[in-house]
Structure 1
């Protein structure tokens, strides 16, 4: 018996790639040269992941400015004054806002997947932004001639296209990044916003078959940007029972940074759907210390006391650089943590098989 292990998605960009991205934005580098540098970064990332034994890889989101806004970068009908996401250390991220309709994606994630698969010798997963996150682009004041309900219908259509395109292009798993789930309970402690997010994501997922659900997953965590979080202070137990209602085959859950993981594991065990596998976070990307394989092994064995081993997997708590300009973690540290996860998961599987 083996225990599957996967990374969440993003990896730090190299200084050379960041320099090239800045030069392109300043008009000092043309698009073709930037694309060539990005492709080389994707190739280097995949080759390194394969070399350290990762059984599933991603492109490290090397060609994205962020996991959140890749579908809308370059659209002409956006303004800069969208929702602000505050982090515990005081820094903020701000979403754009939709200024006029209709809403359409400019870029779909299968473009990144097809580029990655050209370089990969092992299965490739593809992260996509959850429609719930993009629902925040619609302004509270509304848009004349373009109702919120019409926006949501267009958003659902685009999100379905994004997921289906990746499934059709051969993704091992399509992972919805639902990082705003825990944050929603901070913004609205009543749970109403979370209920809206869950309903919207279910609306998209209802368009897929059970066989397709088996290749779709959902990731959630409290944010991981510049070594800070936006909602780690929100009780996980307010989120998990509702999150685990989503009709997907895989859940990727931050856990390594939780103070009382057994408390969380008991809730997961009580609510995990019978068709699903849960990947638990066993490394913490915002902790600069590299976990040892033995620490990872022990975290897996602790989870196996609560969860059936045949429905257990491991992951990192988050992506290592969800926003391209996040240089708080080096590529070397990120790859070292991934190696520890891969090796520690294998040690746990050996222990459980003995």
Structure 2
């Protein structure tokens, strides 16, 4: 028996790349030198991913400024004072604010797929940002000459092109990051914002065929940045029934850091469709302690009690460095956790198969 296991996305960037990004921003090095550092970080990331035994890898988001803002690179119609995301430890992240239309992506995820596939024969998975997250770029006061309806139409076209481009570039699967789903319930306990997010994401996903949606998954977690979260205090029971109605083949659900994983598994078992594969988080990226393979195995066996084995997979709870400047977790710790996930999943598969 084989239980599939996949990463979520980001890996902490090496110190050399982070220093190079600062040097480039300050004009101390040119674009060619920065590209050399990016290439080196990508090669090392893929090599270390392969050394863990993972059959599915990512590029570690080494050249993304963050999991959410990569489409905005190079755009000029942005102001810095957009939506603020508060984290439990008191720090915040702030999105930019769109100042003019039409909205277009500056970078699409196919570029990351192409660069990674040139360096490996392993299956490459690509994470993309959900259109619902980018909908927060539009200001509440509106934009003169560019209505919210026009913005959302452009956003849906761009999000579709981003996903389709990654699939066409050879990504084995595309993961839509929807961390704002749980956060929306903190901002609006009535669920109205969540419903609008689900409707927007559904409108994009409905543009794909059933075969294409089988290669698309959705990731949910309470956020992860600088060893803190933005919405872990929100009950999963208020999110998962709606989330699991999205028309995709796969879900990646943060679970290792949940205080009551059995309760979450019960909700998933009650609401997920039999055709959907459920990857459950078995490693916690914001916990500095590296899980043992035996701990991972126990988490997999627990999940199998509720979900069976035919549709079960494992993953990390979240990316290890969703924002490029987050150095709260080391590269060595990230890959040690990934290796424990691979080995622990194999132990569970052997136990369940026997």
- TM interval, short-chain normalised: over 0.9
Please tell me whether residue 191 in structure 1 is matched to residue 191 in structure 2. Answer: yes
Q: Give 1:321 deviation, angstroms.
A: 0.2
**CA separation in 2, counterparts of 1:305 and 1:335?**
28
Which residue number in structure 2 is paired with residue 325 of structure 1? 325
Q: Give 1:36 deviation, angstroms.
A: 1.7
Which residue number in structure 2 is paired with residue 240 of structure 1? 240
- CA deviation string 1:180-203 (max 9, x = no partner): 000000000000000000000000
Which residue number in structure 2 is paired with residue 47 of structure 1? 47
Which residue number in structure 1 is paired with residue 214 of structure 2? 214
Which residue number in structure 2 is paired with residue 268 of structure 1? 268
- CA deviation string 1:80-121 (max 9, x = no partner): 110000000010000000001110001000001100111112
CA RMSD of aligned residues (A): 0.6
* Partner SS for 2:121: coil
1:224-303 aligned within 5 A: 224-303=224-303
**CA separation in 1, counterparts of 2:339 and 2:15?**
22
1:111-190 aligned within 5 A: 111-190=111-190
* Partner SS for 2:18: helix
* Partner SS for 1:11: coil
Which residue number in structure 2 is paired with residue 316 of structure 1? 316
* Partner SS for 2:71: coil
Q: Give 1:316 deviation, angstroms.
A: 0.3
Q: Give 1:27 deviation, angstroms.
A: 1.1
- CA deviation string 1:15-55 (max 9, x = no partner): 10100011111111111211121111111101111011011
* Partner SS for 1:128: strand
**CA separation in 2, counterparts of 1:273 and 1:40?**
42
Which residue number in structure 1 is paired with residue 307 of structure 2? 307
**CA separation in 1, counterparts of 2:225 and 2:152?**
28
**CA separation in 2, counterparts of 1:158 and 1:324?**
23
* Partner SS for 1:124: strand
Q: TM-score, normalised by structure 1?
A: 0.99
Q: Give 1:74 deviation, angstroms.
A: 2.1
Q: TM-score, normalised by structure 2?
A: 0.99
**CA separation in 2, counterparts of 1:219 and 1:39?**
27
**CA separation in 2, counterparts of 1:312 and 1:40?**
35
Q: Give 1:10 deviation, angstroms.
A: 0.1
**CA separation in 1, counterparts of 2:120 and 2:83?**
37
- CA deviation string 1:126-176 (max 9, x = no partner): 000000000000000000110000000000000000000001011011000
* Partner SS for 1:275: coil
Q: How many residues align?
A: 354
Please tell me whether residue 10 in structure 1 is matched to residue 10 in structure 2. Answer: yes
Q: Which runs of 5+ in 2 are unaligned?
A: none
